[in-house]
Structure 1
Amino acid sequence: MQSTLALIGFGEAGATFAGSAGWGPAARAWDLAAERRAAAAAAGLTPAGSAEEALAAAPLVLSLVTADQALPAATAYAPALAPGALWCDMNSVAPGTKRAAAAAVTAAGGRYVDVAVLAPVDPARLAVPLLLAGEAADAAAAALAAAGFTRIRVVGAEIGRASAIKMIRSVMVKGIEALTAEMMQAAAAAGVADEVLASLDASDKAQPWQDRAAYNIERMVTHGARRAAEMAESARTLRELGIAPAMTEGTVRRQAEMAGRTDLLLPGSARTTKGARA
């Protein structure tokens, strides 16, 4: 069967996309973990016995690994790409990391595309906003649309431009989460949590801070390890721009420290009311 696309990495993002796309067995998936290859089969995809098998003749590749594996995956697997294949790097890494990955893919005869995913994949699924950059961005936009993605925007021909938008935005988004955790731990220790949250409500009516605090901390407990790796790339992004990432490096540590700390969940969080979120 002719391959329509290949997924390198079948974690949360790959499983979420496959679960709503209906790609079927013409889509192949490779993951280092046997249980994730089994999950790909359960989702209707063809699990590959190797990255080389997944990539053979695939015109479109979605790289959906963890941030720290984005460059190693591109470097290791680029030689197995079909000539002219589109390697869509959808991982949250710094522009410099993507440029290094692009060099490996291009040298092997593939076409590299910098893709930034601008929202959680669940519940957005194939409607998650995607920013694309690179000389092959237009071709990738058409291929991703054919695969079912519906919110795609090309932001330029320079590799790293989409990533820069995502990484710099993450300085605020993940930074707010980290500051929330620090604030709430201190407020709880001082016995003034209700008063602190009420004072914030008085100055910001967009959302009750009880809900915001519960949500931010739940995100860190559930995804702190992955987000710490992403924020390490945000710190690299700032250093590449000549900016000392003092707060961002603190966010890396706080996200990592919060990972799995279910004892720090606040009442009303998704995990305390509905169980762990995907």
Structure 2
Amino acid sequence: MTAHVAMIGCGEAGLAFAGAPGRCGSVTAFDIQTDDPARRDAKLAEYRGAGVTAAMTVAEALAGAGVVLSLVTADQALNAAQSAAPRISPGALYLDLNSVAPATKRAAAAVIDTAGGRYVDVAVMAPVHPKRLGVPLLVSGAHAAAAVDALRAIGFTSLKLIAGDTGAAASVKMIRSVVIKGVEALTAECMIAAARAGVVAEVLAALGEDWATRADYNLDRMMVHGLRRAAEMDEVAATLEGLGVVPSMTRATAKRQRELGALGLGHVAGLDAKLEALAA
């Protein structure tokens, strides 16, 4: 079943999984970036480095695949399922690892299941680096047990079944992100203000001994992945609204994540250098 794995979307997460030691089976991937002539050569080089076969279309990637991993941005998760549905092999597992609301996953499940595939809700519960195939995954839905077996055969090692239908794993991920990404946004607000006031060392000391490291990490996540994380927080807001909770803090978090990501600064080494760039 896992001899041929297809990926829709092969960015940081896909490359981390495909290129990890211990990964089993062949991997064919389609990524929208291969459609961009300016990005194509670099993308294909990344594929070669991870042992991934490049597909120029979704149909080519999915041909004969028993397992499909969807690893796109949050705003493209449903589109990916709609694109895959007419091309998926009967009975193939469609593992949706995207950070989206339970309602979005249920909509994608309806599309895949109607087409004859087996949709599975998978939540990625930590950054893919450095753990790669060891990253914690939550799995839910009607085909969750089969998906756990398939993921284990690929090489994933930290898998947990979540009781409930499609959307149960996503609920855990989305609600947890209120705090995880909210703290990142608060860190940015706090540290930029401290830098402009000239009291960074004093604020960090008041927060606690590990906060210099935490602040550096939190800012890095936002500067490198802010746009992607903002899209996820939009899905978190939809999750909360579906539960009757007004997402006031979550909307603000999405705004702050989007602002930092839009700066295009990428990775900047060191907290002082980050704050110099952000406080300018």
Q: TM-score, normalized by length of structure 2?
A: 0.89
**What residue number does 1:223 align with?**
225
Query: How far apart are 1:192 and its partner, in Å?
Result: 2.5
- The answer to whether the 8 Å contact 1:59/1:85 transfers is yes
Distance 1:45 1:225 in 2: 26
**What residue number does 2:110 align with?**
103
Instruction: Tell me whether 1:15 sits opposite 2:22 in the alignment.
Output: no
- The answer to whether the 8 Å contact 1:95/1:161 transfers is yes
- The answer to whether the 8 Å contact 2:171/2:239 transfers is yes
Matches within 5 A, 1:32-71: 32-34=32-34, 35=40, 36-71=43-78
Give 2:259's match in structure 1, choosing from 257, 260, 274: 257
**What residue number does 1:135 align with?**
142
Query: How far apart are 1:82 and its partner, in Å?
Result: 0.3
**What residue number does 1:275 align with?**
none
Matches within 5 A, 1:235-254: 235-254=237-256
Matches within 5 A, 1:35-184: 35=40, 36-184=43-191
Query: How far apart are 1:214 and its partner, in Å?
Result: 1.4
* Alpha-carbon RMSD: 2.3
State the secondary structure of the residue aligned to 1:237: helix
Cα deviations by residue, 1:27-84 (Å, 9 ceiling, x for unpaired): 2111122233452234222211211111112110000111111010001211100001
Corresponding residue pairs, total: 266
Distance 1:58 1:147 in 2: 13
**What residue number does 1:5 align with?**
5
Distance 1:135 1:68 in 2: 24
- The answer to whether the 8 Å contact 1:6/1:55 transfers is yes
Change (3 A) 1:59 1:217: same
Distance 2:90 2:267 in 1: 50
Distance 2:266 2:57 in 1: 39
Any gaps of 5 or more consecutive residues in structure 2? Answer: 35-39, 276-280
Q: TM-score, normalized by length of structure 1?
A: 0.89
Distance 1:195 1:26 in 2: 52
State the secondary structure of the residue aligned to 2:129: helix
**What residue number does 1:276 align with?**
none
